[in-house]
């Protein structure tokens, strides 16, 4: 009996991937990678071959601000720095106006018009559909508008007609738009130089336009300067007159407000009132503290009442010198009474005098205590009155301060309006004078430092660069597709991934047998030296060393779902186990869909179901074994209505106990775990369970659920067999032995 152990399904843990794992993924799908890369590269190659060569001519121009030394006095370096200057000139260089000047200066719309003719493109389906609906809408509008359109009055003013451009002007603008789109301007880093480039399919046209664009930019800059200065002076003159009127009005309003509200007095009091408020706040805090002290003392006296013993315990009574003197005298009188009472009676004159003296001292002590209590009450009332007075003074001061603040806020608003109007007026006056002085000067200095040369080789397309990018892009697309498919693949397709995820030993892997005419169930027995047979020998070795004390005798072989190869694995593994003259028995426990009898060529009219249900004829032989087959078989028998109950019965336990004495190994072929509970019932009866999974077919979700169910049923999981593994899914650790065993078999190696 195998030891009873508590198994719990552990949560799968993700393993940290290394570079070799990614290389293994790439190698596994290398065909897809090469196909995707080849397709992308072929598309790029076709695109490059179909492109028309374009030539680019470039010229260099130095552009900087015109800084007049005579006008730089009083300006800091920060004020002279203009971060938008270079960007502004760059946009001006490639503007439509500059391109239009180039067209007119070179007569591109007349002499060289043929270089800018574009063949009309065939309209696409979207354009045809749009034209159809536009024509239909125009026809409907022509039919309906005379009946429902608005009537125009005879005396209504005529709308100004839009200027009609000549065909030559339209052609010039069309060519200018083409030039603007083809011109590129790039600044040279950390310099004031800009490179102007123009691309065209004719190299001579590219050179001509590039050189003409610089002169057109200079002419455009001069026109902008002169027209801007003229309009600026006119606008600033009118604006200065308006701002002067605003300034005079704001000064009058401010003066009237100061006169009405005595602003000078307000400014002085705004300084005094906060100081007074701060002093009152400090006095109020001190008065409130004293009030709390007197209140606490007063409450102690009130609680003591006429209990003079409690009163004398209060600090103000205990520290009073008069009370201390009276207490001392009273103590002496009481001691004198005690001494006289030993000699005289109460009616003795000496005794009466001592008692009278004691009574007088007590009366004086209480009188003094009452006086101190009255003094404390008076102090408490005075402290409360002082707090009320200071609070009233603070509230009055706050109200006065708020009123002063409101008046001063309005004064500040009026003062800011006046200063703002003065600042605007002064700035406009200064700008008018400055513009008049600098109207005739140019703000930008422009020097062409390199003229465009005739380009000898095309700039586009750069075939080497485009093809290199296409190759890299194709590889990137292929890698992305490979890793995306790997991410979507949630099946167990390698022994290493299964071991890392579940911590179970992969006893071995069986490669998928290719060829339709090959039968997996007979291939091992017919080819004992094949790599597949060596795979099962490796599984056998793993089983023999799977338990610490002795090899397992009763082995349950199951799978997650159908068509994963558990039945053929059971038969082939039994053939390998029986090679060393071992007695091996296969019990077909899959009474729902039995297949072992068909693989052995035996009838299934009776078998395990007949034995477990008590319907077996004593003359019928339960176990079948042919002389040429070293493996014995106990077929499943006719399908019963309750297979799970029969497999968990006492007769099944008794059957296994008897067969343990007769056979060295007993293999139980059971139904899939995910579909029925038969395997869960057989798990505790076996020494161990071997799980057969289909590489690339069994998902991790199925394994998570199935392994958990087996462990919950207290089954001893010996390991996993990765079946029908394709070579591309394998890794070197599990396929490295194939070449060795193939070589071994070719040289006549014997059985293991």
Read off the pLDDT of residues 553-587 as tens digits, 9 standing for 90 and up. Answer: 999 999 988 888 889 999 989 988 888 788 999 99
Residue 170 included in any domain: no
Question: Beta strand 665-669 with 193-200: parallel, antiparallel or unpaired?
Answer: unpaired
Total domains in the chain come to: 3
How confident is the model over 297-321, as a mean pLDDT? Answer: 73
| CA torsion angle 147 153 156 160 (round to 10) | 20
Separation between Cα atoms, residue 647 and residue 678, nearest integer Å = 7
CATH label of the domain that carries residue 276: 1.10.287
Whether residues 523 and 575 fall in one domain: yes
Whether residues 497 and 633 fall in one domain: yes
How confident is the model over 625-649, as a mean pLDDT? Answer: 89
How confident is the model over 528-541, as a mean pLDDT? Answer: 84
Give pLDDT, residue 752: 29
Low-confidence winner among 12-21, 206-215, 643-652 (lowest mean pLDDT):
12-21
* Percentage of the chain modeled with pLDDT above 70: 82
Whether residues 478 and 520 fall in one domain: no
**223-274 residue pLDDT tens:** 887 777 677 777 777 777 887 788 778 878 877 777 776 665 555 555 666 7
**497-523 residue pLDDT tens:** 788 788 888 888 888 877 655 677 777
Tokens 């001063």: give the residue: 408
Confidence of residue 736 (pLDDT cuts 50, 70, 90): very low
pTM: 0.46
Residue 233 included in any domain: no
689 φψ region: left (φ > 0), alpha (ψ -120 to 50), beta (else)? beta
Closest-CA residue to 251 (of 429, 426, 423, 417): 417
Six-digit token pair at 257? 């407000």
Q: What is the residue range of 352's domain? A: 263-438
Residue 664 included in any domain: yes
> Residues 717, 510: contact at Cβ < 8 Å?
no
Closest-CA residue to 509 (of 529, 544, 545, 534): 534
Whether residues 561 and 608 fall in one domain: yes
Whether residues 302 and 381 fall in one domain: yes
Give pLDDT, residue 556: 93
DSSP conformation class of 493: -
Whether residues 519 and 483 fall in one domain: no
Q: Phi and psi (nearest 5°) for 554?
A: -95, 115
Q: Is the pLDDT of residue 750 over 60?
A: no
What lies within 8 Å, CB to CB, of 537 at 6+ separation is 576, 752
Work out the mean pLDDT of the chain and round it to a whole number. 78
How confident is the model over 279-306, as a mean pLDDT? Answer: 80
Whether residues 531 and 423 fall in one domain: no
Q: Is the pLDDT of residue 121 over 60?
A: no
Q: Phi and psi (nearest 5°) for 491?
A: -105, 155
How confident is the model over 46-74, as a mean pLDDT? Answer: 75
Separation between Cα atoms, residue 727 and residue 29, nearest integer Å = 11
Give pLDDT, residue 152: 47
Q: In what order do the strands lie in the sheet with 193-200?
A: 183-187, 193-200, 55-65, 444-450
**442-489 residue pLDDT tens:** 577 888 888 888 888 887 777 788 888 888 988 899 888 888 877 777
Positions of E strands within 13-166: 55-65
Confidence of residue 746 (pLDDT cuts 50, 70, 90): very low
Whether residues 631 and 517 fall in one domain: yes
> Residues 2, 552: contact at Cβ < 8 Å?
yes
How confident is the model over 335-349, as a mean pLDDT? Answer: 80
Residue 422 included in any domain: yes
**586-601 residue pLDDT tens:** 999 999 899 988 888 8
Closest-CA residue to 682 (of 665, 669, 663): 669
Whether residues 527 and 637 fall in one domain: yes
Separation between Cα atoms, residue 701 and residue 408, nearest integer Å = 78
Separation between Cα atoms, residue 221 and residue 58, nearest integer Å = 21
Give pLDDT, residue 7: 38
Whether residues 718 and 613 fall in one domain: yes
Whether residues 592 and 471 fall in one domain: no
């Amino acid at each position: 009996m195998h030891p009873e152990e508590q198994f719990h399904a552990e949560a799968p843990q993700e393993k940290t991937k290394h570079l070799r794992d990614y290389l293994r993924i790439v190698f596994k799908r290398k065909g897809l990678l090469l196909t995707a890369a080849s397709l992308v590269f072929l598309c790029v190659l076709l695109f490059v071959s179909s492109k028309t060569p374009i030539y680019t001519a470039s010229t260099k121009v130095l552009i900087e601000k015109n800084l007049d030394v005579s006008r730089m006095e009083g300006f800091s370096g920060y004020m002279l720095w203009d971060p938008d200057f270079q960007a502004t000139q760059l946009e001006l260089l490639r503007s439509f106006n500059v391109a239009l000047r180039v067209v007119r200066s070179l007569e591109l719309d007349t002499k060289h018009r043929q270089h800018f003719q574009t063949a009309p493109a065939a309209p696409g389906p979207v354009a045809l559909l749009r034209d159809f609906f536009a024509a239909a809408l125009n026809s409907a509008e022509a039919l309906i508008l005379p009946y429902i359109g608005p009537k125009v009055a005879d005396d209504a003013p005529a709308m100004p007609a839009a200027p009609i451009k000549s065909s030559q002007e339209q052609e010039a603008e069309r060519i200018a738009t083409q030039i603007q789109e083809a011109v590129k301007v790039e600044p040279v880093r950390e310099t004031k130089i800009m490179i102007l480039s123009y691309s065209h399919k004719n190299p001579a046209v590219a050179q001509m336009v590039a050189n003409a664009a610089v002169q057109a930019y200079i002419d455009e800059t001069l026109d902008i300067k002169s027209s801007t200065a003229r309009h600026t002076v006119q606008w600033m003159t009118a604006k200065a007159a308006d701002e002067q009127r605003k300034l005079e009005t704001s000064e009058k309003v401010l003066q009237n407000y100061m006169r009405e509200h005595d602003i000078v007095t307000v400014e002085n009091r705004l300084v005094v009132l906060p100081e007074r408020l701060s002093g009152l706040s400090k006095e109020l805090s001190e008065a409130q503290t004293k009030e709390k002290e007197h209140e606490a003392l007063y409450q102690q006296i009130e609680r003591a009442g006429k209990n003079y013993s409690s009163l004398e315990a209060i600090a103000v009574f205990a520290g009073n010198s008069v009370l201390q003197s009276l207490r001392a005298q009273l103590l002496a009188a009481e001691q004198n009474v005690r001494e006289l009472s030993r000699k005289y009676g109460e009616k003795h004159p000496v005794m009466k005098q001592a008692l009278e003296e004691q009574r007088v001292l007590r009366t004086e002590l209480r009188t003094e205590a009452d006086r101190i209590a009255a003094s404390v009450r008076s102090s408490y009332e005075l402290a409360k009155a002082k707090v009320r007075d200071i609070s009233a003074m603070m509230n009055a001061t706050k109200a006065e301060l708020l009123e002063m603040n409101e008046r001063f806020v309005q004064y500040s608003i009026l003062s800011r309006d006046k200063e703002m109007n003065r600042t605007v007026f002064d700035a406009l006056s200064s700008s008018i004078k400055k513009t008049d002085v600098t109207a005739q000067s140019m703000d930008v200095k422009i020097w062409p430092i390199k003229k465009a040369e005739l380009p000898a080789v095309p700039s586009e397309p750069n075939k080497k660069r485009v093809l290199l990018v296409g190759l890299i892009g194709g590889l990137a697309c292929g890698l992305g597709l490979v890793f995306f498919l790997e991410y979507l693949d949630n099946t167990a397709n390698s022994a290493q991934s299964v071991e890392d995820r579940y911590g179970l030993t992969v006893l071995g892997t069986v490669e998928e047998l290719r060829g339709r005419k090959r039968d997996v169930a007979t291939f091992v027995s017919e080819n004992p030296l094949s790599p597949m047979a060596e795979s099962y020998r490796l599984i056998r070795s793993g089983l023999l060393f799977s338990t610490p004390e002795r090899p397992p005798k009763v082995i349950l072989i199951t799978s997650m779902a159908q068509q994963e190869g558990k039945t053929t694995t059971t038969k082939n593994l039994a053939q390998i186990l029986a090679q060393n003259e071992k007695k091996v028995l296969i019990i077909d426990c899959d009474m729902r869909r039995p297949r072992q009898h068909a693989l052995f060529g035996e009838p299934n009219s009776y078998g395990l179901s007949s034995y477990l249900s008590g319907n077996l004829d004593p003359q019928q032989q339960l176990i079948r074994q042919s002389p040429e087959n070293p493996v014995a078989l106990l077929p499943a028998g006719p399908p019963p209505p309750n297979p799970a109950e029969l497999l968990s019965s006492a007769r099944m336990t008794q059957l296994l106990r008897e067969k343990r004495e007769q056979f060295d190994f007993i293999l139980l072929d059971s139904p899939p775990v995910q579909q029925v509970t038969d395997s869960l019932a057989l798990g505790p009866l076996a020494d161990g369970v071997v799980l057969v999974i289909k590489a690339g077919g069994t998902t991790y979700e199925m394994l998570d659920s199935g392994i958990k169910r087996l462990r919950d049923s207290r089954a001893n999981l010996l390991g996993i067999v990765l079946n029908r593994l394709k070579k591309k899914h394998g890794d070197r650790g599990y396929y490295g032995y194939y070449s060795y065993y193939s070589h071994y078999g070719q040289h006549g190696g014997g059985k293991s």
